[in-house]
Amino acid sequence: MTDLPVFREFRVESAREGLVHLVFDMPDRSMNVFSNAAIHELGRFAAWLRDSDVAGVVIRSGKSAFCAGADLNELGVAYDMIMQSPRGERGRVAYDHFFPLSQALRALETSGKPVAAAINGLALGGGCEFALAAHYRVLTDSPRTALGLPESLVGLLPGAGGTQRLPRLVGVAAALPVLLEGKRLSPVEAMLAGVADIVVPVGEEVAAAERWLLSKPRPTQPWDEPDWHKGDEPAALRTVEQARQAVLAASGDRYPAPLAILDCIAGGFPRPMDEAIAWEMDVFSRLIQRPEPRNMIQTLFLGKLEFEKRAKAASLPTELDTIETAILGALRFEIETGKAAGLPLDVIDAAVQELGIGAAAARLHTALPVPGAAAGSLVAGGESAGLWFEGVLTDPVQALAARLLARSAAAVSPYADRLAAADQRVIDYALVASLGFPAYLGGPFALRRYLGGSIPG
């Protein structure tokens, strides 16, 4: 047997009758996440496992939860690295950077050794994908335990096999709420769906996993069996297309992640797993180059965390209320300008809904109109991502919606130079949460940066 590699993010412990435990226990972290270091360690473990003489592996966590998913701070660094590469090389750079987790999980499930996951606490995102790559999944009967793939909620897709393994386990229709809406599965829901094999009381999960491993199970995933049948493939693909039409009807192509997830399923479900995960990574590598995922991570994850921390400490930016009032006033001014120019009320209402700020409609109607910079066509200050508002808009609803966006960005301009980036991120989150500002744009400050810091007139 080859020597066991040295690990820092994981540790390997010997157990009874030739079993080993792979314990995910990142030092100096309260929660396990898939950092680059953890990903490459997992790949080295899977390579070692194939040539080892162990009887089986229990995957478990050394924390109070299993794994929360990706390291989103590292993800932001990776985004910058990708976007700083020549345009024609970005897809390859993204693929090469992110595919190692998929490769590690695939190597784990094809190692020829049985692998059981003992899950207590949350297993989200990459943590859920880690569990899905095990041959057997034990969940604790605890309200803190859940499986989920929430990547779409921050503009991404599960890029380590989640869009491929989950539909194969539970069927496409049952997988879609988890993949598209971020639905979490409780232990009982996971077992009924076929994701979990058994639910046990807290403290008994490791023993249950070991019992299964010592029963000498076949160490093969269902989709790797020669006689595996994935069910009614045409019906599954029709389900995907129906979901695509529902997404387009609800939000158009404003949020590209749900559509990319559906592309992953449609293109990957008919293929063998090795080809399917490569296809998934192709789609992921295109999606990660878009501004929407970065905006949503910065605002809905990092901005939200910082907002909640500072709200608890009563240390939110002092400019928050003033900026919110300025934006409402600027939007009201543009709406009143439109009315004076003869815009029908149904066009105005539709534009407000188009932006997703309908929840703030009552506050808009009572806001004091505040004149600002005249709103013209919105154009990226740097490289364009081809967002819907760029260029000449002939549809009156979209044209007004774009002018409302311009007013919002103009309203925060006086504060941009004197507020730190962290303050801007907190305020962006607050405005997304309170006004319904489009999350895919990240907030008015993020939009202003996209426009190069200047608002056209």
The angle, 0 to 180 degrees and rounded to 10, between the axes of the packed helices 256-268 and 273-287 is 160
Give me the pLDDT at residue 368, please. 84
Nearest to 98 by CA among 298, 296, 293: 293
Confidence of residue 347 (pLDDT cuts 50, 70, 90): very high
Does the pLDDT of residue 263 top 90, yes or no?
Answer: yes
Strand partners, 198: 138
**Would you say 440 and 428 are in contact if contact means Cβ atoms under 8 Å apart?**
no
Nearest to 374 by CA among 339, 416, 330: 330
Confidence of residue 64 (pLDDT cuts 50, 70, 90): very high
Q: Tell me the mean pLDDT in the region 397-418.
A: 92
Nearest to 427 by CA among 410, 404, 446: 446
Give me the pLDDT at residue 455, please. 46
Q: Tell me the mean pLDDT in the region 364-371.
A: 82
DSSP 63: S
Confidence of residue 289 (pLDDT cuts 50, 70, 90): very high
Q: Tell me the mean pLDDT in the region 432-454.
A: 90
Give me the pLDDT at residue 456, please. 43
Q: Tell me the mean pLDDT in the region 84-88.
A: 93
- Which region among 164-168, 175-179, 278-282, 302-306 has the lowest average model confidence (pLDDT)? 302-306
Instruction: Give percent of the chain above pLDDT 90.
Output: 82
Q: What distance in Å separates the CA atoms of residue 408 and residue 364, rounded to the nearest whole number?
A: 13
Give me the pLDDT at residue 372, please. 67
Give me the pLDDT at residue 38, please. 97
Give me the pLDDT at residue 201, please. 98
Does the pLDDT of residue 382 top 80, yes or no?
Answer: no
Does the pLDDT of residue 101 top 50, yes or no?
Answer: yes
User: What backbone phi and psi angles, to 5 degrees, belong to 186?
Assistant: -70, 165
Active-site residue list: 70, 126, 129, 151
Q: What distance in Å separates the CA atoms of residue 430 and residue 436, rounded to the nearest whole number?
A: 9
Nearest to 333 by CA among 360, 361, 369: 369
Does the pLDDT of residue 385 top 80, yes or no?
Answer: yes
- Which region among 105-109, 270-274, 362-366 has the lowest average model confidence (pLDDT)? 362-366
Give me the pLDDT at residue 393, please. 87
- Give me the half-sphere count of Cα atoms (radius 13 Å) on the Cβ side of residue 415: 26
User: What backbone phi and psi angles, to 5 degrees, belong to 34?
Assistant: -85, 90
Give me the pLDDT at residue 232, please. 82
Give me the pLDDT at residue 374, please. 53
Q: Tell me the mean pLDDT in the region 121-131.
A: 97
Alpha carbon of 113 to those of 129, 222, 444, 455: distances in Å? 18, 15, 52, 59
The string of pLDDT tens digits covering residues 209-254 is 999 999 999 999 999 999 888 778 889 999 999 999 999 998 888 9
Give me the pLDDT at residue 370, please. 81
Q: Tell me the mean pLDDT in the region 80-84.
A: 93
Query: Which is more confidently placed, 368 or 21?
Result: 21
Give me the pLDDT at residue 365, please. 81
Distance of CA 357 to the CA centre of its chain: 23
Average pLDDT over the chain reads 93
Does the pLDDT of residue 164 top 90, yes or no?
Answer: yes
Q: Tell me the mean pLDDT in the region 147-163.
A: 96
Q: What distance in Å separates the CA atoms of residue 404 and residue 336, rounded to the nearest whole number?
A: 11
